[in-house]
Amino acid sequence: MVELSRRAVTIGAASAAFAFARNAAAEEVVKIGVLYPLSGNAASAGNYAKMAVELGADIVNKGDPELAKLMPVAKGGGLAGLKGAKVELVVADNQGTPAAGQNQTLRLITQEKVVAMLGCYQSGITQTASAVAEKYGIPFLTPESTAADLTDRGFKWFFRTTPIATNFAKAYSDFLEEQKAAGRKVGSIAIVYENTEYGKSTSTAIADLFVKEGRNVTMKVSYSANSTDVQPQVLQLKEKNPDVVIFVSYTSDAILYTKTMKSLNWKPEIMMADAAGFNDPAYVKSMGPEAEGLISRSAFAPGKPGSIAAICDALYRKKSGGGGLEDGSARALQGFLALVDALNRAGSTDPAKIQAALKATDMKADQMVAGYNGVKFDDKGQNTLGSSLLIQMRNGEYVPVWPKVKATADVVLPYKGWTK
Amino acid sequence: MTARRLLQIALVVVVLAYPIVTAGSPVWQRLGALVLLAAISASAWNIVGGYAGQVSVGHAVFFGIGAYSAVVAFVHLDLPPILGAPLGMLVSVAVAAVIGVPTLRLSGHYFSMATIAVGELVRVLSSTSDWLGGAQGLGGPAMPRTVFDLSFVSAMPYYYIFLAVLAGVLGLTWWIERGRMGFYLRAIKDSERAARSLGVSAGRYKLYAYMLSAAFTSVAGSLYLCMFGFVDPESGFGILLSVKILVMAALGGAGQLFGPLVGALILVPLEELSNSLLGGQGAGITFVVYGAIIVIIARFLPSGLLSLLERRPNAPTKAAPVNPSPASGHAD
């Protein structure tokens, strides 16, 4: 009996000590829920995004001497505003389904007690997941979901750092305005788009904004991304001969258009693309030499050596053991850094304080990893400074050419296309 | 009072008290609601797939119709989503009739193949319809306007709503099982030719079962939309959904009243827990574990988990066997 009670006391003391240690540790950790598609058909994108966010956590927790000179949160040793609390990521898989996204968000909030949520890549999943965060009053930041209506739901806890289709349209319009001022012909514009959701919504956003800004959209050509022949569309373009063509396409169709334009020997003055298929490494590799001078967009360009973007790119390369940051991973990292910036300023893990800090976010262009002009949220939670970079195909790879402050090369026009 | 009676009462108490007991853990509470929701569609499938032996691999069509009807009621008519449920049932029954008349003439796996084809067709069509939100899908009310929007923070209201609907589906199935139609369906399942030769109007009863099954699957879809607030072609009409419904019923015991519920009781927690515990690793290991367990059960218990009870030497073999599921005794 004595033996037993002595043991009980020992166990009790040990567990008390353990509980105390856990408590002490708990105060030094701030948990962020990270929800991405780690399985399912978007798993590749989700895993890159996850890696980017993990890199972000490393930057905050361990620091980086070079980055520390440029970014306050990169000094290492956790978040200064939270007495050096380390960021702990609680990563979950949304399995590419809205239901799993919502179930996991509930778990992260109620069981893991995360103080903020980040995710979810697919707009539909961001929709269901953020609805739970809204009900529980936990800040939810999406770095990459672009469905326009996500920020039209009247949510108070929802924030979005990525620009959306209308922002891209604005970038194209501004770019064309500059070209016009430089004496290029931009009088007739054709928009060629694949006929599912992505192509339709993006081309509508571009056309609407162009009309509003007084640009002359003379043709809208739709086609199926599964087509094996786009000669009719290219012949149509050749006949009307617009000055500018903007493509909204996936990969195989982008390749097909590039080939067909060569075989039918037609090219516009300015050829532009809304990223997607034209940014796919498969396209760049196979069609790069056939599309010299093509203008596309990206949320990321490594920029000048020594910039935040360039350093993060190098760190990411080291972590991934291969490719550097690209459009998707750069946006994820940017979203995470905006969230961490707010956490640091909030100086508390109280969700309401984090929400207030997010609303007061004012990150400048020189603090950006992605090619934004900064991060500043409007009343709906949309980043108003989320702009895009334009990149141009030069000798088989893209280089940033616009806007000037982020360009590493000058724009060379007219479009050259095939080089031999 | 027999031991069986006591057990039944205990199960009813457990089922009714579950969301109150788990009130402190929203995840566990929600898990209960998820099990019931899955059990509704699997039980609905069971009517045609289990009892009549017509293995539909396209039941997501009806689930999606239910979900889309609910969201359309909100988006286009500004009504609470649940008011779309009756519409969904009507559309589903009509669609079932249109699909069923030609395809139910097919036998065995040809019927299954036809249902897969129809399912995929509907999925593709829905993704090209702007009215249905295209590939991007449609969302329900972002914030509940009234209680009729059925948008709650706690899973408790969902739990009891789903429980009531499931009790209704199981009650109706039980009634069919014991009636003339139940005998007809079992006869058709055993041998359609023999049933026909005895004067059973096989085509007509298969169609009835299919339409009934479609109506309840549609209700599950409408309830899903109320809970999750969003549907797109993949989550509404995706083939994985059809397969899940089928696997759940088969795992528990197709053609048995409580088979689908038992299947849901195993598979839903398995899926949720494996994703919660392993999903964050990012290697898709969730599905490996999930799949392995299904393979093991299929290998060693091909007629479903409920067959375990039948094998027990002293198990009662009468029409109403011991119910291993908490929903026994009709908790309404």
Instruction: Judge whether residue B322 has pLDDT over 50.
Output: no
- A249 and A265 in a single domain? The answer is yes
At B315 the pLDDT is 44
How many structural domains is chain B composed of? 1
Q: ∠ at Cα A206 (A205, A207), nearest 5°?
A: 95
A131 in contact with B, Cβ within 8 Å: yes
At B280 the pLDDT is 78
Query: Which residues does chain A have within 8 Å of residue B282's beta carbon, measured at their own beta carbons?
Result: 38-39, 43, 46-47, 50, 91, 93
Q: Which of A47, A104, A110 sits opposite B26 (nearest CB)?
A: A110
Average pLDDT of the segment spanning A309-338: 90
Q: Which of B30, B229, B272 sits opposite A131 (nearest CB)?
A: B229
- A280 and A355 in a single domain? The answer is no
Per residue in A63-114, pLDDT (tens digit) is 999 999 888 889 888 999 998 999 999 999 998 899 999 999 999 999 999 9
Per residue in A112-132, pLDDT (tens digit) is 999 999 999 888 899 999 999
Instruction: Judge whether residue A356 has pLDDT over 70.
Output: yes
Per residue in B149-197, pLDDT (tens digit) is 888 889 999 999 999 999 999 999 999 999 999 999 999 998 898 999 9
Tokens of B81: 């989503």
Q: Is residue B290 part of a domain?
A: no
- A294 and A256 in a single domain? The answer is yes
Q: Is residue A7 part of a domain?
A: no
- A149 and A250 in a single domain? The answer is no
pTM: 0.83
Q: Give A277 or A340, the one with higher predicted confidence.
A: A340
At B2 the pLDDT is 84
- A200 and A74 in a single domain? The answer is no
At A230 the pLDDT is 93
Tokens of A364: 């400048």
At B319 the pLDDT is 44
At B299 the pLDDT is 83
A94 min Cα distance to partner chain B (Å): 8
Record: contact A155-B275, CB cut-off 8 A: no
Q: Give A122 or B332, the one with higher predicted confidence.
A: A122
At B311 the pLDDT is 58
- A38 and A142 in a single domain? The answer is yes
A110 in contact with B, Cβ within 8 Å: yes
Instruction: Give Cα B331 to chain centroid, integer Å.
Output: 18
Q: What spatial distance separates the first Cα and last Cα of chain B, rounded to whole Å?
A: 22
Give dist(CA A291, CA A245) in Å, integer. 13
| B41: containing domain | 25-238
Average pLDDT of the segment spanning A48-72: 92
For A99, the closest chain B residue by CA position comes to: B228
For A35, the closest chain B residue by CA position comes to: B280
A117, β-bridge pairs = A33, A140
pLDDT tier for residue A350 given thresholds of 50, 70 and 90: very high
Query: Which residues does chain A have within 8 Å of residue B153's beta carbon, measured at their own beta carbons?
Result: 135-136
pLDDT tier for residue B282 given thresholds of 50, 70 and 90: low
Q: Which of A93, A111, A128 sits opposite B229 (nearest CB)?
A: A128
Q: Is residue A1 part of a domain?
A: no
Q: Is residue A127 part of a domain?
A: yes
Highest-confidence segment of A249-258, A322-331, B74-83, B320-329: B74-83
At A77 the pLDDT is 87
For residue B291, the one-letter residue type is G
- A159 and A270 in a single domain? The answer is no
pLDDT tier for residue B209 given thresholds of 50, 70 and 90: very high
- A399 and A273 in a single domain? The answer is yes
Per residue in A265-320, pLDDT (tens digit) is 999 999 999 988 888 777 888 898 999 999 999 888 877 788 899 999 999 999 98
Instruction: Judge whether residue A24 has pLDDT over 50.
Output: no
Which are the contacts of B81, defined by CB distance < 8 A and separation ≥ 6? B70, B71, B73, B74, B140, B141, B149, B150, B222, B225, B226
Record: contact A127-B275, CB cut-off 8 A: no
**Separation in Å, CA B196 to CA B14, B184, B185, B203:** 44, 10, 11, 9
- A104 and A144 in a single domain? The answer is yes
Residue environment code for B137-157, b if the CB has 16+ CB neighbours within 10 A, otherwise e: bbbbbbebeeeebbbeeebbb
- A336 and A347 in a single domain? The answer is yes
A184 min Cα distance to partner chain B (Å): 37
- A395 and A273 in a single domain? The answer is yes
Q: Is residue B298 part of a domain?
A: no
Per residue in A185-233, pLDDT (tens digit) is 999 999 999 877 778 888 989 999 999 999 999 999 989 877 889 999 9
- A136 and A201 in a single domain? The answer is no
Domain of A98: which CATH number? 3.40.50.2300
How many structural domains is chain A composed of? 2
Q: Is residue A3 part of a domain?
A: no
Q: What percent of chain A has pLDDT over 90?
A: 58
A30, β-bridge pairs = A87
Q: Is residue B61 part of a domain?
A: yes
Per residue in B61-73, pLDDT (tens digit) is 999 999 999 999 9
Q: Which of B136, B137, B142 sits opposite A153 (nearest CB)?
A: B142
For B27, the closest chain A residue by CA position comes to: A107
| A263: containing domain | 166-298+389-406
pLDDT tier for residue B312 given thresholds of 50, 70 and 90: low
Q: Which of A93, A103, A124 sits opposite B232 (nearest CB)?
A: A124
Average pLDDT of the segment spanning B122-143: 87
Per residue in B167-179, pLDDT (tens digit) is 999 999 999 999 9
pLDDT tier for residue A373 given thresholds of 50, 70 and 90: confident
At B323 the pLDDT is 43
Q: Is residue B286 part of a domain?
A: no
Instruction: Judge whether residue B12 has pLDDT over 60.
Output: yes
Residue environment code for B89-118, b if the CB has 16+ CB neighbours within 10 A, otherwise e: bebbbebbeebbeebbeeeeeebbebbbeb
Average pLDDT of the segment spanning B31-56: 95
At B225 the pLDDT is 96
Instruction: Judge whether residue A57 has pLDDT over 60.
Output: yes
